[in-house]
Amino acid sequence: GAVVSQHPSRVICKSGTSVKIECRSLDFQATTMFWYRQFPKQSLMLMATSNEGSKATYEQGVEKDKFLINHASLTLSTLTVTSAHPEDSSFYICSAYGGGSKGSYEQYFGPGTRLTVT
């Protein structure tokens, strides 16, 4: 299968600071990337859909000014949590969709980023 990486895998930051998470498709071009959030013992909830070169589409209840998403290339999408607060502490997972390229029609998931805001 195709490979998707996320960086960092873990990050601890202080309340009020901003954190950037990178999602990369390593061996295919991702026309679309998705960002999910998972709270403890809960399922994955979609935050936003990111298409290369265009603005992200956010799910209801997700603040676009707080969770900035940039998809500047076909292999990289970034999620920036601005002015983080303890309630933003969560597991953030991205997935990449190749649209028929090497990634086939599956979505491939990154390993996730554990964010802890103190």
Partner 1 sequence: KQEVTQIPAALSVPEGENLVLNCSFTDSAIYNLQWFRQDPGKGLTSLLLIQSSQREQTSGRLNASLDKSSGRSTLYIAASQPGDSATYLCALNPNSGYALNFGKGTSLLVTP
Q: Which residues contact 63 (CB under 8 A, 6 or more apart)?
A: none
Does position 42 bind partner 1 by CB under 8 A? yes
Contacts of 99 (CB under 8 A, 6+ apart): 31, 32, 105
Give CA–CA dist 5/21, Å, rounded. 11
**103 counts as binding partner 1 under rule CB under 8 A:** no
Site membership for partner 1, residue 32 (CB under 8 A): yes
**Residue pointed to by tokens 């601005």:** 82
First and final C-alpha spacing in the chain: 37
Closer to partner 1 by Cβ: residue 8 or 16? 8
CA 6 – CA 9 distance, rounded (Å): 7
Asked whether position 49 contacts partner 1 by CB under 8 A, the answer is yes
Residue (67 or 97) nearer to partner 1, CB: 97
Check residue 111 for interaction with partner 1 (CB under 8 A): yes
Out of 14, 43, 54, 87, the residue judged to bind partner 1 by CB under 8 A? 43
Of residues 103, 112, 115, 117, which one binds partner 1 by CB under 8 A?
A: 112
CA-based nearest residue to 1, from 100, 111, 106, 113: 106
Using CB under 8 A, list all residues that contact partner 1: 1, 6, 31-32, 34, 36, 42-46, 49, 91, 93, 95, 97, 99, 105-112, 114
